[in-house]
């Protein structure tokens, strides 16, 4: 199975994707950057269309929104929601972000909520977005700190068994790295707004957060590992987590960076 198939299978199975948390965290992007009536918007990895629908309401009948994704089942849900809202200014396209090549200077705004780290070549995607934008247009996306979702404990547990697990959150996992990648791509007026959505979990809950296997990354070495070694890594992960326990429980970080940047 290719990496892209693995990603689309995973999301196709999540037809219960929408809930208050997933919807609110996506539309929170509009707290930092909003399109104006009449504008053209691209929602990359639109999923169930939460950002695309909100954008369509903002740009109105004289504007237009395109949502792209590779998960057929989530796009079907998005289509149902668009129909229920009676919106005629949103179009959904089933396509890989890497294959989508509209003409240059087409969009006023490009959104990408909770998906950018899933793209294998982020610098290339940012470069593409820069070209798709009109001068003065903006990108608005989310990414997570490199220790969100107990990522460093997972990586450390793997390292103890000689396995190098690439941390999916690392490339955009600090404000400095975000800033660096965006300036490299010529974006300006970069804003990084951190939002802490983490909480304390019981030890059992924190330990159950990782099952010893799943990690959506193109170079995930765990896919090919013997299940016996995986179980040993899982034991190390549980030990790592136990060492983090405090009186309040285990801190489960979810530090989300809401990022906005503009094309001059
Ligand atoms: C966590 S969901 C976010 C969905 C939506 N943006 C939201 O916040 O409600 C991640 C989405 O990224 C999509 N995705 C992952 N890789 C993709 C790719 N290469 N091209 C297009 N979509 C992709 C998945 O199919 C999934 O719908």
Closest of 126, 128, 108, 127 to residue 117, by C-alpha: 126
In contact, 89 and 61? CB cutoff 8 Å: yes
Judged against a pLDDT cut of 80, whether residue 85 lies above it is answered with yes
Count of CB atoms situated within 10 Å of the CB of 132: 22
Straight-line distance from the first to the last Cα atom of the chain, in angstroms, rounded to the nearest whole number: 41
Please give all residues whose beta carbon lies within 6 A of any atom in ligand 1, as ranges: 4, 7-8, 11, 22, 26, 45-48, 50-51, 68-71, 74, 96-97, 113-115, 118-119
Q: In angstroms, rounded to a whole number, what is the distance separating the alpha carbons of residues 258 and 243?
A: 31
CA angle at residue 124 from 119 to 130, to 5 degrees? 110
Q: In angstroms, rounded to a whole number, what is the distance separating the alpha carbons of residues 260 and 111?
A: 9
Q: Which two tokens stand for residue 11?
A: 């999301």
Q: Domain 3-146+168-198+252-262: give its CATH superfamily.
A: Vaccinia Virus protein VP39 (3.40.50.150)
For ligand 1, the distance from its centroid to the CA atom of residue 36, given in whole angstroms, is 24
Judged against a pLDDT cut of 80, whether residue 106 lies above it is answered with yes
Q: What is the band of 217 on the pLDDT scale with cuts at 50, 70, 90?
A: confident
Per cent of the chain over pLDDT 90 is 90
For ligand 1, the distance from its centroid to the CA atom of residue 144, given in whole angstroms, is 15
Q: What is the band of 82 on the pLDDT scale with cuts at 50, 70, 90?
A: very high
Q: Which two tokens stand for residue 62?
A: 């004289």
In contact, 173 and 142? CB cutoff 8 Å: no
Q: Which two tokens stand for residue 54?
A: 């909100």
For ligand 1, the distance from its centroid to the CA atom of residue 92, given in whole angstroms, is 13
- Signed CA dihedral, 17, 23, 25, 30: sign only: positive
Ligand 1 mutation target, pool 43, 75, 115, most atoms within 8 A of CB: 115
For residue 224, the model assigns a pLDDT of 80
63: Cα within 13 Å, side-chain hemisphere:
23
Q: In angstroms, rounded to a whole number, what is the distance separating the alpha carbons of residues 60 and 89?
A: 8
Residues 154-212 pLDDT 10s:
999 999 999 999 999 999 999 999 999 999 999 999 999 999 999 999 999 999 999 88
């Amino acid at each position: 199975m290719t990496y892209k198939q693995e990603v689309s299978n995973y999301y196709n199975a999540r037809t219960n994707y929408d809930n208050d948390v997933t919807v609110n965290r996506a539309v929170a992007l509009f707290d930092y950057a909003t399109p104006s009536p009449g504008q053209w918007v691209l929602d990359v990895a639109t999923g169930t269309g939460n950002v695309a629908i909100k954008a369509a309401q903002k740009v109105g009948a004289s504007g237009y929104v395109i949502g792209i994704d590779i998960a057929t089942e989530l796009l079907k849900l998005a289509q149902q929601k668009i129909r229920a809202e009676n919106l005629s200014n949103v179009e959904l396209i089933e396509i890989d972000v890497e294959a989508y090549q509209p003409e240059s200077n087409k969009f006023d705004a490009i959104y990408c909520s909770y998906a950018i780290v899933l793209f294998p070549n982020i610098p290339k995607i940012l470069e593409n977005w820069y070209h798709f934008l009109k001068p003065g247009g903006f990108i608005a996306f989310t990414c997570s700190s490199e220790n969100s979702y107990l990522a460093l404990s997972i990586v450390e547990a793997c390292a103890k068994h000689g396995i190098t697990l690439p941390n999916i959150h690392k490339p955009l996992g600090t404000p400095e790295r975000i800033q660096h990648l965006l300036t490299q791509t010529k974006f300006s007026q970069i804003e990084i707004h951190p939002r802490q959505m983490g909480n304390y979990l019981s030890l059992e809950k924190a330990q159950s957060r990782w099952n010893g296997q799943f990690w959506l990354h193109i170079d995930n070495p765990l896919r090919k590992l013997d299940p016996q070694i995986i179980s040993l890594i899982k034991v190390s992960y549980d030990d790592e987590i136990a060492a983090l326990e405090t009186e309040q429980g285990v801190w489960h970080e979810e530090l989300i960076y809401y990022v906005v940047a503009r094309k001059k």
